[in-house]
Structure 1
Amino acid sequence: MSRFLGSIRQLGYVVDDIEAAMAHWHSVMGVGPWFYNPRVPIEDYRYDGEPHEVHNSVALANSGPMQVELIQTRNDAPSMYRDFMRAGHKGLQHVAYWTQDYDADLARMEEEGFRQKMSGRVGANGRFVYFDREAHPGTVIELSEVVGPKGRLFELIREASEGWDGAEPVRPFPDLSTL
Structure 2
Amino acid sequence: MESLETMTNAVPERTSLGARMQLSFVVPDLQEALKFWTETLKVGPFVVIEDLGDRHFFYRGQESPVEILIGFSYVGETQIELIEQINSAASPYTDFLESGRQGLHHFGFWPDDCEKARLELEQRGFKEVLVIQASNGGNKVTYHSGPEHVGAMFEIAPMTPERAKHFAGLKALADNWDGTRPVRWFRTRAEYMASEDCKA
TM-score range (shorter-chain normalised) is: 0.7 to 0.9
Report if aligned partners of 2:47, 2:71 keep a CA contact under 8 Å in 1: yes
Q: Secondary structure at the residue paired with 1:149?
A: helix
- 2:165 pairs with one of 152, 155, 164: 152
Relative to structure 1, the CA distance from residue 126 to residue 152 in structure 2 (aligned partners, 3 Å threshold; closer, same or farther) is: farther
The amino acid that maps onto 1:132 is S
Relative to structure 1, the CA distance from residue 154 to residue 10 in structure 2 (aligned partners, 3 Å threshold; closer, same or farther) is: same
What is the aligned length?
A: 179
Q: Deviations over 1:43-63 (max 9, x none)?
A: 231101111111011100001
Q: How does 1:161-172 map to 2 (within 5 A)?
A: 161-172=174-185
- Distance across 2 between alignment mates of 1:144 and 1:66: 15
- Give the structure with higher Rg (CA): 2
Q: Secondary structure at the residue paired with 2:157?
A: strand
Give unmatched runs, 5+ long, in structure 1: none
Relative to structure 1, the CA distance from residue 51 to residue 81 in structure 2 (aligned partners, 3 Å threshold; closer, same or farther) is: same
Aligned to 1:103: 115
Sequence identity percentage: 26
Report if aligned partners of 1:34, 1:59 keep a CA contact under 8 Å in 2: yes
Report if aligned partners of 1:61, 1:158 keep a CA contact under 8 Å in 2: yes
Higher mean alpha-carbon deviation, 11-20 vs 144-153, is at 144-153
Higher mean alpha-carbon deviation, 82-91 vs 144-153, is at 144-153
The TM-score normalised by the length of structure 2 is: 0.79
Aligned to 1:129: 142
- 1:154 Cα deviation from its structure 2 partner: 1.2
1:175 aligns with 2:190: yes
The TM-score normalised by the length of structure 1 is: 0.87
- 1:30 Cα deviation from its structure 2 partner: 1.0
Give unmatched runs, 5+ long, in structure 2: 1-12
- Distance across 2 between alignment mates of 1:4 and 1:99: 6
Higher mean alpha-carbon deviation, 60-69 vs 147-156, is at 147-156
